[in-house]
């Protein structure tokens, strides 16, 4: 895949997923990376690392995804993972109000502690549990079947307003149906400023940038062949 897009400039983007436990962070990644969904996903210990490429018209973005553990006590490990991240996906569960509160905490944490200029996307997951047309529009077999009604507890407006206030990208997704999942990553890829790509690791690592970049250019190829990747963009 890398070959077919060879002429396009390719750059790596470190992306971290944050959010309360069991909101579907890992499922989102799995859907994005493998276009797959597992009901019983082994919980993430510390963080799982995955990669996936995203082809934009003008360039190729290779996401290095850090999928962090959601349990509260793992929160203190998070700085280890969002260090130098250029993008973050803060996920909440549409059916669980507390998860949005937690998501807001993460947004605040990222805005203050992560690399400046980090692109943050707020993602409300589990759209398949709501009665939304959009959620049903996916390839879902049993949308909202378990819940006889609408399990949605957080309105789109509420989250959207918040996202706008904070300058976040905003999406509602279903990892189960795949609805809007790739859109999230594509939007992030588009939102990453060209300049930050040049420095490979974002402005936060500017001091180490030039060196890293060189190595990166050389090593990108061989590494790509290492990781099994499917491009869904």
Residues 6+ apart with CB under 8 A from 44: 25, 26, 67, 68, 69, 70
- The answer to whether residue 146 forms part of the interface with other proteins (CB under 8 A) is no
| Contact flags string 172-211 toward other proteins, x per CB under 8 A | -----------------------------x---x--x--x
What distance in Å separates the CA atoms of residue 70 and residue 102, rounded to the nearest whole number? 10
| Contact flags string 90-119 toward other proteins, x per CB under 8 A | ---------------x--xx--xx------
Residue of the chain from 42, 133, 142, 157 that contacts other proteins (CB under 8 A)? 42
Q: Taking a C-beta distance cutoff of 8 angstroms, is the pair 172, 123 a contact?
A: yes
CA distances from 153 to 97, 104, 130, 141, 162 (A): 6, 16, 9, 22, 15
- The answer to whether residue 40 forms part of the interface with other proteins (CB under 8 A) is yes
Question: What's the burial of 216, exposed, middle or buried (CB within 10 Å: 0-12/13-18/19+)?
Answer: middle
Closer residue to other proteins (CB): 74 or 137: 74
Residues that bind other proteins (CB under 8 A): 12, 14, 21-22, 39-47, 49, 51, 64, 66, 69, 71-77, 79-81, 83-84, 105, 108-109, 112-113, 201, 205, 208, 211-212, 215-216, 219, 223, 226-227
């Amino acid at each position: 895949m890398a070959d077919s897009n060879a002429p396009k400039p390719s750059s790596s983007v470190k992306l971290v997923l944050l959010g309360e436990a069991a909101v579907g962070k890992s499922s989102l990644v799995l859907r994005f990376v493998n276009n797959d969904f597992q009901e019983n996903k082994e919980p993430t210990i510390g963080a799982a690392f995955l990669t996936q490429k995203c082809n934009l018209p003008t360039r190729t973005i290779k996401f290095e995804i850090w999928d962090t553990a959601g349990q509260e006590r793992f929160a203190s490990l998070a700085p280890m993972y969002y260090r130098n991240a250029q993008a973050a996906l803060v996920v909440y569960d549409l059916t669980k109000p507390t998860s949005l509160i937690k998501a807001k905490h993460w947004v605040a944490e990222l805005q203050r502690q992560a690399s400046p200029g980090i692109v943050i996307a707020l993602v409300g997951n589990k759209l398949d549990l709501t009665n939304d047309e959009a959620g049903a529009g996916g390839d879902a077999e049993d949308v909202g079947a378990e819940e006889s009604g609408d399990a949605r507890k957080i309105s789109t407006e509420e989250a959207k307003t918040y996202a706008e206030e904070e300058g976040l990208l905003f999406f509602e997704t279903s990892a189960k149906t795949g609805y809007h999942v790739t859109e999230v990553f594509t939007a992030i890829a588009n939102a990453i400023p060209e300049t930050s790509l040049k420095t490979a690791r974002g402005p936060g690592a500017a001091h180490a940038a030039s060196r890293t970049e060189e190595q990166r250019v050389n090593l990108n190829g061989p590494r790509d062949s290492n990781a099994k990747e499917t491009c869904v963009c």
